[in-house]
A and B are shown apart, each in its own frame.
Chain A
Amino acid sequence: MKEKEIDNSKGISGWIDKRLPVFTFINHNLRDYPTPKNLNYFWNFGSLAGITLVIMIITGILLAMQYTANTEIAFDSVERIMRDVNNGWLLRYIHMNGASMFFIIVYIHMFRGLYYGSYKYPREILWMLGVVILLLMMATAFMGYVLPWGQMSFWGATVITNLFSAFPIIGDYIVTFLWGGFSVDNPTLTRFFVLHYLLPFAIVGVVALHLVALHQFGSNNPTGIDVKSEGDTIPFHPYYTVKDYLGLGVYLIVFAFLVFFAPNFLGHPDNYIPANPLQTPAHIVPEWYFLPFYAILRAVPDKLLGVLLMFAAVMVLFFLPWLDKHKIRSANFRPFYKQFYWLFFIDCIVLGWVGAMPAEGIYVLISRIATLYYFGFFLVIMPLLSKFEKTTELPSSISAAVISDKFDNKEPSTSESYVK
């Protein structure tokens, strides 16, 4: 696809573009940007994540104008937002549920990358930047949950920061350093607020790098085959802009339903009780998006080992491009990987489920088996499959795949009409 040159001899936009090539940039990256023509709806989740980040930053800034980071009045200041600030309840519910939506979107985005091998050559750094974004998101979300200073805020913060005390010698020092004192208290809250405000902008920065890395080689696609000719691609606009808009519409319906009709469905009722350091809740549970990692933490009887495994569960993602060295990207052509992949997907759901259950009896056993598979998938199955797995026949090009797809799709419909 040949790019349309911007004529910078004419008009105001031309004048600006000659001096600051914004229009050329937009044209290059959002309009003519050649994109594989066979992307399915799983490729919507990148732009959805970006939009969610913007929603979170806008609502977050507006909330920060009303919120007070002080243990004495933090809880009340949130309630004031809910009751007395114009549409404050809407802002807060969007922000609160937006965090959950952000994780859902990003997790699906990652599972998509895992299925279609989007982390493989030449997109290793693109994938690693994504993992950095995930880590930053986790830190941001965790600190954000502390801000309303409810019971779960306080006790969640206490439990999670205490994990660092598992490290020998320096552990206690780290914890004191994080708290800014000898317990979770006002200094902890103020620094968490500052960092919660700061980190999203760091995320924006890494997202920019993520996009630069993406546009270096363009999107992967469901076949995992490289773009071979111009015929394999279509311009981003209007095809993928309209497809992204449609995806956004569906996404916002789900998001809005949550915000307006079940705003506290994903939250914990205890967080509407003001923090009380003298009263421990019966069950301290993290937010749902941390549950799989929480399950891994609790699967191990040793505290230090549990903490290390939990961190390793995220860190292992950095090494994915070197653990799975199979030349074929897409699981569609890897019959064995495909099965282990879906087992891994179920495994993550199981981990999330046991993470929400009390750590006793059968749940401990389940969490151990699930943890074993989690790491086994990355550290044993992936390297072995890269060596031994034979793939099914690949289409010769993206265009060939699209044409045969259409052919396949038409077959059943004609046979159906014969039946009638």
Chain B
Amino acid sequence: MLSRPLNFFLCFFFLFTLPNSLTIKAATSKIELIEQNWPFNGIFGRFDKASLQRGFKVYSEVCSACHGLRHLSYRDLAGIGYSNDEIKVIAGEYEIIDGPNDEGEMFTRDAKMSDKFVGPYENDKVARLANNGAYPPDLSLIVKARAGGADYIYSLLNGYKDFPENFEAGEGMYYNEYYPGNQIAMPPQIEDDIVEFDDGTTASNVQIARDITSFLAWTAEPELERRKSLGVKTLFFLVLITIMLLGVKRKVWKNLD
């Protein structure tokens, strides 16, 4: 009795909503993304803290030269396992302009835990000027803002190739299999040993790409672990109470027979 409307509901749900996600996939890339088995995938998904910390190191030493993380504060780093003292040291390496002070002057000071991540450029114009007219996007949300999510970012980082013959390349552009239109302004950044990991992990280019992608998945969805664990509990509760309601319903309706 329950099953027919329920099936209908679910069929309706998928029939109506699937085209949406299909087009997004179809529109952005004709080439299959490299699918990775991310630890944060799935219902019980969790971040690998060590990987996130390595990813943060990659971000600080490589990506942050051009890309900002403007939605994050330094205090958020507690979420990937840094202690307050460590975060203070990290923040202290950056300077921000504050003020005006009581004399009416702007001044620079060391960044504090409560400050947002300091971006690489003062404004968009400077960013474009320094990058051949291309604007290096802010990375806070990049994993959520691209179809394919983490797999796309990982593929992109591993997707640099030489230009195929007869490809009309723009000045200062690079060929990337996964980038829409295949021409990307960002030069390939990742190579073996471009960073040295504190935990002794070998810094192969694949490892670096994996760690930075994990880190960016975290910056896009810092609530992911809490969301998924709350979700499991909520679903457990809802399934339990629904089974009980099914019993109650059957008992009450028996009166009518």
Q: Which one of A49-57, A127-135, A242-250, A389-397 is at the B interface?
A: A242-250
The dominant DSSP class at the B interface is: helix
Closest residue on chain B to residue A272 by CB atoms: B145
Answer yes or no: A282 CB below 8 A from chain B CBs. yes
**Contact of A239 with B145 in the complex, beta carbons under 8 Å:** no
Q: B217 to nearest A CB, angstroms?
A: 13
Mask: chain A, 307-350; 1 = CB below 8 Å from B; 0 = not? 00000000000000000000000000000000000000000010
**Contact of B227 with A89 in the complex, beta carbons under 8 Å:** yes
Alpha-carbon separation in the docked complex, A255 to B180 (Å): 34
Q: Which one of A12-20, A117-125, A201-209, A262-270 is at the B interface?
A: A262-270
Known A-B contacts A108-B8, A249-B241; the reply to A41 vs B71 at CB < 8 A is no
Q: Which one of B98-106, B156-164, B190-198, B230-238 is at the A interface?
A: B230-238
Alpha-carbon separation in the docked complex, A246 to B2 (Å): 10
Q: CB within 8 Å of A: which of B46-93? A: 71-72, 76
**Contact of B245 with A288 in the complex, beta carbons under 8 Å:** no
Answer yes or no: B123 CB below 8 A from chain A CBs. no
> Which chain B positions have C-beta within 8 A of A100?
17
Answer yes or no: B31 CB below 8 A from chain A CBs. no
Q: CB within 8 Å of A: which of B1-52? A: 1-2, 4-6, 8-10, 12-13, 15-17, 19-24, 27-28, 43
Tell me the number of A-to-B contacts counted with CB atoms below 8 Å.
146
Alpha-carbon separation in the docked complex, A83 to B231 (Å): 18
**Contact of A250 with B242 in the complex, beta carbons under 8 Å:** yes
Q: How many residues of A are in contact with the other chain, CB < 8 A? A: 56
**Contact of B245 with A37 in the complex, beta carbons under 8 Å:** no
Task: Name B23's contact: one of A40, A79, A356 (CB within 8 Å).
Answer: A356
Closest residue on chain B to residue A80 by CB atoms: B71
**Contact of A246 with B238 in the complex, beta carbons under 8 Å:** no
> Which chain B positions have C-beta within 8 A of A242?
245, 248-249, 252-253
Q: Which of A37, A108, A358 is packed against the most chain B CB atoms within 10 Å?
A: A108
Answer yes or no: B147 CB below 8 A from chain A CBs. yes
Q: CB within 8 Å of A: which of B203-257? A: 220, 222-223, 227-228, 230-232, 234-235, 238-239, 241-242, 245-246, 248-249, 252-253, 256
Alpha-carbon separation in the docked complex, A272 to B16 (Å): 23
Q: CB within 8 Å of B: which of A93-144? A: 93, 100, 104, 107-108
**Contact of A288 with B8 in the complex, beta carbons under 8 Å:** no
**Contact of B223 with A82 in the complex, beta carbons under 8 Å:** yes
The dominant DSSP class at the A interface is: helix
Mask: chain B, 118-149; 1 = CB below 8 Å from A; 0 = not? 00000000000000000001001100111101
Answer yes or no: A253 CB below 8 A from chain B CBs. yes
Closest residue on chain A to residue B16 by CB atoms: A352
**Contact of A260 with B234 in the complex, beta carbons under 8 Å:** yes
**Contact of A79 with B71 in the complex, beta carbons under 8 Å:** yes
Q: Which of B5, B13, B71, B146 is packed against the most chain A CB atoms within 10 Å?
A: B5
Closest residue on chain B to residue A268 by CB atoms: B24
Q: A252 to nearest B CB, angstroms?
A: 5
Task: Name B9's contact: one of A108, A283, A355 (CB within 8 Å).
Answer: A108
Task: Name A257's contact: one of B19, B72, B235 (CB within 8 Å).
Answer: B235
> Which chain A positions have C-beta within 8 A of B24?
268-269, 285
**Contact of A288 with B223 in the complex, beta carbons under 8 Å:** no
Answer yes or no: A185 CB below 8 A from chain B CBs. no
Task: Name A259's contact: one of B28, B231, B249 (CB within 8 Å).
Answer: B231
A-B pairs, top 7 by smallest CB distance, nearest first, are A260-B231, A249-B242, A272-B145, A356-B19, A41-B5, A89-B223, A288-B20
Q: List residues of chain A with CB under 8 Å of any chain B CB.
A: 37, 40-42, 44, 76, 79, 82-83, 89-90, 93, 100, 104, 107-108, 234, 238-239, 242-243, 245-246, 249-250, 252-254, 256-257, 259-261, 263-266, 268-270, 272-273, 282-283, 285, 287-289, 291, 349, 352-353, 355-358
Can you list 28 pairs linking A and B with CB atoms under 8 Å apart? A37-B256, A40-B1, A79-B140, A83-B76, A242-B248, A243-B253, A245-B248, A249-B245, A253-B239, A260-B228, A260-B234, A260-B235, A261-B43, A261-B231, A265-B21, A266-B17, A269-B24, A272-B145, A273-B145, A285-B23, A285-B24, A288-B16, A288-B17, A291-B20, A349-B16, A356-B19, A357-B19, A358-B23
